[in-house]
Structure 1
């Protein structure tokens, strides 16, 4: 699973990630737009609130089910063909590094139909073309209902680029995730 969020991300993720049960069978890859001049405190914030292992993604690391991987500040997070992670300092995308599109597009190539891509609240277009790539690869696209997002710009852009994506509020997203992994 790949999740992308920007403005309002912490609040949305604090509802979704702690709801995932111990033993969750998918790795969870998360990109949040974090300014490069600020340290990434997301791991310490979520470690005590989640039943899953929470860590910062490392270059060349293999993904493990039931682990939440946060992209480090100022690095793009990508998924290699073998499912391992890689980090890149390539140019920002949509003024962001890490960028959601970079993660989603590489994860779509690696995981295809096994990928769930989720775009949450945020203030730019990042995630829209990446979510389209997820759905075109046969994966499931989910977008936070813009009416429930703290900042609806990213969800609106994702829905415009990918009308086939499922739209839900945060509780609905949690339900979809639990259903998706129950099979």
Structure 2
């Protein structure tokens, strides 16, 4: 019998900090070219960073990776990275928005800002992922995703290069999945395919 994806996921949001480049390389490099939904990413980068991370990840990924632009329409099968020194938000109409509002959790871009706006826009059709990182950014946002009916994935803190972001998230919520990094791409595919 054919499996049907009754959740009809619309997006994945991913938050990462210290140790995140390696984690992003692994996850994005493992996603197939026909990955059916957009992936929105916040990684803590220095305010003067250019788009070199997006360029690097694009060369390693079968799906397109780019820096997000203001009022850009979100397209399936594309990875959008928050640009340096801008919060990345999802508008209800399916567009991206960039903000220079003050830092949240000492960060701009902030994982919480992306996760909270995406939870409002997508509700239960959202998958939220917290990966390795220092600090506690993303904890409130992933809780909002869970409270709005979305699926939550947290990298196992024992597997993370820096465990404070995953550990902080797990102090606030019982995540749907707590797994090592190497299991996240397959888990994403199973969730999206309704397996």
Q: Report the TM-score when normalising by structure 2.
A: 0.92
Shift of 1:150: 0.3
The RMSD of aligned alpha carbons is 0.9
Please tell me whether Structure 1 or Structure 2 has the larger radius of gyration of its CA atoms: 2
* Distance in 2 of aligned mates of 1:53 and 1:47: 6
Work out the CA distance in 2 between the residues paired with 1:34 and 1:161: 25
**Secondary structure, counterpart of 1:69 in structure 2:** strand
1:62 has 2:73 as partner: yes
Deviation track 1:34-86 (CA, whole Å, cap 9, x = no partner) reads 01033242111111110001111011111111000000000000000112110
Equivalent of residue 25 in structure 2, options 14, 19, 24: 14
Are the equivalent residues in 1 in contact too, given 2:153–2:175 (CA < 8 A)? Answer: no
User: 2-side partners of 1:157 and 1:80: how far apart?
Assistant: 27
Matched, 1:81 2:92: yes
Q: Distance in 2 between matches of 1:104 and 1:67?
A: 17
Does the CA-based 8 Å contact 1:25-1:65 persist in structure 2? Answer: yes
The answer to whether the 8 A contact 1:6-1:122 is kept is: yes
Residues 96-107 of structure 1 mapped to structure 2, 5 A cutoff: 96-107=107-118
CA distance in structure 2 between the aligned counterparts of 1:98 and 1:131, rounded to whole angstroms: 16
Q: Tell whether 2:168 aligns with 1:182.
A: no
**Please, which of 114, 119, 124 is the counterpart of residue 125 of structure 2?**
114
Give the corresponding residue for 1:124. Answer: 135
Q: What secondary structure sits across from 2:60 in the alignment?
A: coil
Q: Which residue of 2 aligns with 1:171?
A: 182
SS at match of 1:81: coil
Q: Which runs of 5+ in 2 are unaligned?
A: 1-11
Match for residue 37 of structure 1 among 34, 48, 53:
48
State the TM-score, normalizing by the size of structure 1: 0.97
1:82 partner SS: coil
Contact persistence 1:131–1:158 (CA under 8 A)? yes
Q: Deviations over 1:133-174 (max 9, x none)?
A: 001010001000000100000000011111133100012211
Report runs of 4+ in structure 1 exceeding 3 Å deviation.
Answer: none
Matched residue of 2:54: which SS? helix
What is the alpha-carbon distance in structure 1 between the residues aligned to residue 113 and residue 119 of structure 2?
10
Match of 2:39 in 1: 28
2:161 aligned partner: 150
